[in-house]
Amino acid sequence: DQGFMMIQLKNPPGSGISLTKEKVLEVEEFLATRSEVLSTFIAAGGFTVGETNSAISFIDLKPRGQRGI
């Protein structure tokens, strides 16, 4: 347990950034309800040019003793 996790989102090939943004918002809303989450950063569109169908989320968790799990 390193207090950190990543989530990769992949929509079907050829999907536009608008669908990716919609899915990113769903993930952000879910993570906001989780008491163990300290902070998030989500990059939509991938890290290389033209990946409009993907996103990656970096999630920092509260220290283990503060998570209640």
For residue 31, the surrounding DSSP H or E stretch is: helix 17-32
Tokens of 45: 């569109």
Q: What is the mean pLDDT of each run of 10 residues along the chain (69 residues)?
A: 92 92 94 95 79 93 86
Q: Which amino acid is at 39?
A: S
| Model-wide pTM > 0.95 | no
